[in-house]
């Protein structure tokens, strides 16, 4: 056994250390937000590897969101760990399935289903149900719930009745849609996300030699955020283990936020019943947030009802005192967004890095008004952070074309070569006017930006070098990201932290979400989601809401019920009069194409620079100059807007 490099365990407190150095076998860490659970497991992995107990390739660490998996990889890398896998359940299953597919199904692996709602629509149509977008979305998530809960179409009606499920249609009808959807999907030879887990589980359960090979390879399993495991994920985990017990789980039952999708904290809370010999560690020191934020978090979760035993932990703050959390009420959403953008500007001017700031909201549709406000304030931002960039179809196709070209590289200074290959792959001279085509165009454009970056930093960089760079980024799951303020839903923010967090839209109907009203369990899940949001902040926490959605609209909304008991008594709720907001009245529009004007400079010029049929090179050049100057001021790269996994050149 090799000795430990000194220092690895110095950064852990005694309880964290006990979990990190526990011998291989079952380990369970039950603790609140910010107490160092993720830190403990990454150190445990590093410790097991360094002390020679396990080889890096034998470790499989899983979590639930792409971002959280990315965070785990970053932390492992920082500890010098290479070669241990840290993935989402889905990414792990997808990889394994691709590898085992020829043996268990035979053919080329089936593609991932694109356009799920369309297929659900066909299924609903067959069954004679309505095909309005909202109904299809409800049906799709009901099918997802059933699959994640291991409920077949045949079992659906009885189970839905037993668990008093609020089905989107008569349970028999839902079962029929579910059945038809599966059939359509199989005949199209595609798989959906849940199938990745189902097929992998089946491969391991039914093919002895596949299971043997897998278990020979992976020996040490770690699950972060275990409170959100679904029955399907648990079954896959059991198939991975195959009766072994080298499993470390960490979680916080108070952060269960996916129970609407079938997740349950029960496996976490009952871990010791399953593994009586498990090492169990409880942590309560909060290392993430200021005492002010911790106090607020304790209040939020202290008000929760029906907390299961084992989840009653109180966070004890460790960090020095900081600013009080701020509460603010606004007339309308654009005013709220403008005020948030102004605060962010002030933070940036005060030296806080853009990547240390996040705006978190309940539903993705809320992002738009913030994107606009940030763009107007000249603040770079990224939305939901570029996950699965290299899995996008147009990027996969572009990679094939680039690889082919790199085999016989043309003699042109790199960027031209890349542009010419990509123009054949769909990168037209001018962007399409909007929608999915524009998103694809933007994604391709970001590949050009990587080339520009490489050409500027590596002397003599050529096409093969560029392709190698992209491949390296793809392997490391490092999409071409750039710095910016994060815009994310509360669900996507799980496990992450920022120096400054803005929790926005804290009004009834949004937080808690409208359809949770009147449903006690759903309201409690919303409260946990709010707790997740509050506990993301290290230093600054702003909580805001507005009384109307639209500028000048009726003020018919109320602040969230979760604010009661949090706001200091007689809090004036910092009302900002509309006249000071600087953002009211109609949205500024381009006088040529009528599209929205996004940046201060665009508004000043009255032109957007993206007019589909009227290209004005001079205007583009002016905008570009302005962006570069602005980016320099902000100390960020000039092309920085992300929307849904896509880079956009602003």
Smallest distance, Å, CB 108 to Mg ion? 38
Q: How far apart are CA 417 and CA 419, in angstroms?
A: 5
Residue 505 marked ligand-binding: no
CB burial class (10 A; 0-12, 13-18, 19+) of residue 474?
middle
Residue 64 and residue 388: Cα distance in Å, rounded? 14
DSSP letter for each residue of 317-382: E-SPP-PPPEEEEEEEHHHHHHHHHHHHHHHHHTT--GGGEEEEESSGGGHHHHHHHHHHTT--EE
Per CB under 6 A, 505 contacts ligand ATP: no
Q: Which residue is nearest to ligand ATP (CB)?
A: 36
> What is the closest distance, in whole angstroms, from the C-beta atom of residue 89 to ligand ATP in the complex?
16
Residue 319 found at the interface with ligand ATP (CB under 6 A): no
Pick the piece of the chain touching ligand ATP (CB under 6 A) from 9-17, 80-88, 156-164, 380-388.
Answer: 9-17
Candidates 38, 23, 635; CA nearest to 353 is 635
The verdict on whether residue 37 carries a ligand-binding annotation is yes
Q: Long-range contacts of range 77-82, CB-CB < 8 Å, 24 or more positions apart?
A: 79/8, 79/42, 79/43, 79/45, 79/46, 80/46, 81/42, 81/45, 81/46, 81/49, 81/56, 82/56
User: Residue 16, interface with ligand ATP (CB under 6 A)?
Assistant: yes
Taking the chain, what is the end-to-end CA distance rounded to the nearest angstrom? 54
* Shorter beta-carbon distance to Mg ion: residue 92 or 590: 92
Is 70 marked as a binding-site residue?
A: no
Question: CB 38 → Mg ion: shortest distance, Å?
Answer: 3
Q: By rule CB under 5 A, what string of x and - marks binding of each residue 494-533 to Mg ion?
A: -x--------------------------------------
The residue count for binding ligand ATP (CB under 6 A) is 19
The residues pairing with 221 across neighbouring beta strands, listed in sequence order, are 60, 247
Residue 65 binds ligand ATP (CB under 6 A)? no
| Among the listed residues 17, 19, 32, 38, the single contact to Mg ion using CB under 5 A | 38
Residue whose CB is less far from Mg ion, 63 or 510: 63
State how far Cα 633 lies from the chain centre: 29
12 forms part of the interface with ligand ATP (CB under 6 A): yes
Asked if residue 335 belongs to a known ligand binding site, the reply is: no
Which residue's CB is nearer to ligand ATP, number 252 or number 376?
A: 252
Locate 510 and state its tokens. Answer: 């949004």
Asked whether position 67 contacts ligand ATP by CB under 6 A, the answer is no
32 is in an annotated binding site: yes
Rounded Cα distance, 103 and 107, in Å: 9
Q: Say whether 386 counts as a known binding-site residue.
A: no
By C-beta, is 37 or 185 nearer to ligand ATP?
Answer: 37
Helix (H, G, I), strand (E, B) or coil at 464: helix
121 binds Mg ion per the rule CB under 5 A = no
If the CB atoms of residues 37 and 94 are measured against Mg ion, the closer one turns out to be 37
Smallest gap from Cβ 535 to ligand ATP, in A, equals 6
**Nearer CB in complex with Mg ion: 37/536:** 37
Neighbours of 425 (CB within 10 A): 17
Task: Provide the angle, in degrees to the nearest 10, between the axes of the packed helices 116-127 and 171-187.
Answer: 120
Enclosing H/E stretch for 456: helix 435-457
Based on the shown chain and the rule CB under 5 A, indicate whether residue 479 belongs to the binding site for Mg ion: no
Q: Is 33 annotated as a binding residue?
A: yes
Q: Are strands 357-361 and 485-489 parallel, antiparallel or unpaired?
A: parallel
Burial class (CB within 10 angstroms; exposed 0-12, middle 13-18, buried 19+) of 206: exposed
CB of 301 to ligand ATP, least distance (A): 12
Residue choice 15, 192, 195, 252 for contact with ligand ATP (CB under 6 A): 252
Among 22, 27, 28, 33, interactor with ligand ATP by CB under 6 A: 33
- The stretch among 35-43, 77-85, 116-124, 355-363 that binds ligand ATP (CB under 6 A) is 35-43
Q: Which residue is it, tokens 């002016």?
A: 622
Residue list for the binding site for ATP: 31-38
The residues binding ligand ATP (CB under 6 A) are 11-13, 16, 31, 33-39, 252, 255, 287-288, 495, 497, 535
């Amino acid at each position: 056994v090799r000795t430990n490099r000194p220092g690895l365990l110095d950064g852990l407190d005694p309880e964290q250390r006990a979990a990190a150095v526990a011998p291989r076998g079952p380990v369970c860490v039950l603790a609140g937000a910010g107490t160092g659970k993720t830190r403990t497991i990454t150190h445990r992995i590093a410790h097991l590897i360094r002390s020679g107990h396990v080889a890096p390739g034998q470790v499989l660490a899983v979590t639930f969101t792409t971002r959280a998996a990315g965070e785990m990889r970053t932390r492992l890398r920082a500890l010098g760990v290479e070669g241990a896998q840290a993935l989402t359940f889905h990414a792990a299953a997808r990889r394994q399935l691709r590898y085992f597919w020829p043996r268990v199904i035979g053919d080329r692996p089936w593609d991932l289903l694109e356009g799920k709602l369309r297929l659900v629509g066909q299924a609903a149509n067959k069954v004679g149900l309505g095909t309005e977008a909202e109904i299809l979305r409800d049906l799709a998530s009901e099918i997802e719930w059933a699959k994640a809960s291991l409920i077949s179409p045949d079992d659906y009606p009885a189970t839905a009745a037993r668990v008093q499920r609020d089905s989107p249609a008569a349970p028999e009808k839902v079962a029929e849609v579910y059945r038809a959807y599966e059939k359509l999907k199989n005949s199209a030879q595609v798989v959906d996300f849940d199938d990745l887990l189902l097929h992998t589980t089946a491969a391991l359960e039914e093919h002895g030699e596949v299971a043997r090979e897998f278990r020979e390879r992976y020996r040490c399993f770690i699950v972060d955020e275990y409170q959100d495991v679904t029955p399907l994920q648990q079954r896959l985990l059991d198939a991975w283990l195959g009766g072994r017990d080298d499993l470390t789980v960490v979680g916080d039952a108070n952060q269960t936020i996916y129970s609407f999708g079938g997740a349950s904290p029960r496996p976490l809370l009952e871990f010791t019943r399953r593994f009586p010999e498990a090492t169990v560690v409880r942590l309560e020191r909060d290392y993430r947030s200021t005492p002010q934020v911790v106090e607020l978090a304790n209040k939020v979760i202290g008000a929760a009802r029906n907390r299961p035993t084992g989840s009653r932990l109180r966070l004890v703050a460790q960090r020095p005192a900081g600013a009080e959390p701020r509460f603010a009420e606004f007339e309308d959403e654009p005013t709220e967004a403008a005020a948030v953008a102004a605060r962010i500007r002030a933070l940036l001017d005060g030296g806080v890095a853009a990547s240390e700031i996040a705006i978190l909201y309940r539903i993705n549709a809320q992002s738009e008004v913030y994107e606009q406000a940030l763009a107007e304030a000249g603040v770079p931002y990224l939305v939901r952070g570029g996950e699965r960039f290299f899995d996008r179809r147009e990027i996969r196709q572009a990679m094939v074309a680039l690889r082919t070209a790199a085999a016989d590289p043309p003699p042109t200074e790199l960027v031209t070569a890349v542009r010419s290959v990509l123009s054949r792959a769909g990168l037209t001279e001018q962007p399409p006017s909007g929608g999915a085509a524009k998103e694809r165009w933007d994604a391709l454009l970001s590949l050009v930006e990587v080339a520009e970056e490489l050409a500027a930093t590596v002397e003599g960089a050529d096409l093969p070098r560029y392709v190698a760079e992209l491949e390296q980024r793809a392997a490391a799951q490092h999409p071409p990201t750039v710095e910016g303020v994060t815009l994310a839903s509360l669900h996507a923010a799980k496990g992450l932290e920022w120096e400054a967090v803005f929790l926005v839209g804290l009004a009834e109907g949004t937080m808690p979400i409208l359809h949770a009203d009147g449903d006690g369990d759903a309201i409690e899940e919303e409260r946990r989601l709010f707790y997740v949001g509050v506990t993301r902040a290290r230093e600054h926490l702003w909580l805001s809401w507005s009384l109307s959605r639209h500028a000048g609209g009726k003020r018919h909304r109320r602040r969230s019920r979760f604010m009661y008991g949090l706001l200091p008594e007689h809090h004036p709720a910092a009302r900002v009069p509309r006249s000071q907001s600087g953002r009211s009245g109609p949205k500024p529009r381009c006088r040529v194409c009528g599209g929205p004007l996004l940046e201060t400079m665009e508004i000043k010029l009255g032109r957007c620079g993206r007019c589909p049929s009227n290209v004005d090179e001079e205007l583009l050049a002016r905008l570009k100059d302005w962006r570069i100057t602005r980016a320099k001021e902000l100390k960020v790269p000039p092309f920085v807007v992300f929307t849904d996994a896509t880079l956009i050149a602003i």
